[in-house]
Amino acid sequence: LVASKDVKEDKARLNILLGRSMEHEFNIQEDLREDELKLNFKELKETALAHDPDFKMEKLLLNIKKRNLTKEKLNRLPTFSLGFQKTNQDFEKDYSALISINIPFWNLNHGEVKKATAEKISQEAKVKSQETETVFDVYQAYLNAELARKQMELFRESLDESKELFVLAGLRYNEGKIDFLNYLDQVRTVREAQTNYYEGLFNLNESISELEKAVYASLRKEEYFDEKF
C-alpha cells in the first residue's frame, strides 16, 4: 500500500514538472533512462551551420555581392566585336571584316567597383558575425546539456544507493532491528531520490530540446512515455 501511494505521488510530481494536471495518466514503457549525447561539439557546430536559416541567408547574400563585384570589374575591361560587311565596288561584290573595340572610361566605373567591394566586405563581416552567434548558441546549449547529463549520473547513483538501503531497511524492520519511524525515514529518502531523478531527467530532456533548437536538427528518436489522451 505504501509503495502504491508513493508511485501515485511520484506520478503527480512528474505531471506537475511536465506542466500537466496531476491526474494525467501515463505508462512507462521501460525503465526511465537519460538521453545520451552521441555528437561532439564539432559535429553539432557543423550541423547548426548547415541548417541555420539566418546563416544560410547571409551566405547567399555574400555570394550575390561577390558576383556583383565580378560584374563591375568586368565592366572595366575593353570589349571586342568582330563582324563582316558586304561591299559593292566597281560592280564587284566583296566582303570586308570589321573589328570594333569598346574601351570604357575606367575612372567613370571605378566608383562602382569600390562600392561593390565595400558591399562584399560588409557582407563578409555579417556572415562572420552570424556564424559566431550561431556557434555560441550551440556551445552554450551543449554545455547546459553536458551539465544536466553529469547531474543525472549523480542522481542515478543516489537513487540506486537509496533503493539498496531501502531493501536493507525493510529486512531489518521485519527482523525487528529498527523501529517503524526509522523505516519511514528510509522510505522518505527513496522518495526524495526518485523525485530528484525525475527532475534531473526532465532537466536533461529540456536541455537536449534546447540543443536541438540550436542546431536545427533532431538528436534523438525515442520517447520514453506512452501517454494516454
Q: Structure pTM?
A: 0.64
Tell me, what's the pLDDT at 182? Answer: 86
What domain count does the chain have? 1
**Residue 222: helix, strand or coil by DSSP?**
coil
| 86: in domain | no
Predicted pLDDT at 155: 93
* Helices within the chain (DSSP H only): 2-17, 41-51, 53-74, 106-174, 180-215
In a domain, 92, yes or no: no
In a domain, 112, yes or no: no
- Does 96 reside within a domain? no
Q: Give the per-residue pLDDT at 207.
A: 92
Q: Give the structural domain span for 154.
A: 2-57+122-227
Instruction: Give dist(CA 152, CA 193) in Å, integer.
Output: 11
Alpha-carbon torsion 148, 151, 157, 159, what sign?
A: negative
| Euclidean distance between CA atoms 26 and 121, whole angstroms | 56
In a domain, residue 110? The reply is no
Residue 134's closest CA among 62, 60, 54? 54
In a domain, 82, yes or no: no
Contact 123, 103 (CB under 8 A): no
pLDDT at 81: 61
> Tell me, what CATH number does 222's domain have?
1.20.1600.10
Please count the CA atoms within 13 angstroms of the CA of 133 that sit on its side-chain side.
11
Per-10-residue mean pLDDT of the chain, 229 residues long, equals 61 62 57 58 93 95 94 71 59 59 60 89 96 96 92 92 88 85 86 90 91 89 40
Query: Is residue 106 included in any domain, yes or no?
Result: no
Q: Please give the C-alpha separations between residue 108 and each of 69, 115, 212, in angstroms, as whole numbers.
A: 16, 13, 52
Q: Is residue 50 part of a domain?
A: yes
Asked if residues 205 and 222 have their Cβ atoms less than 8 Å apart, the reply is no
Helix (H) or strand (E) holding 86: strand 79-89
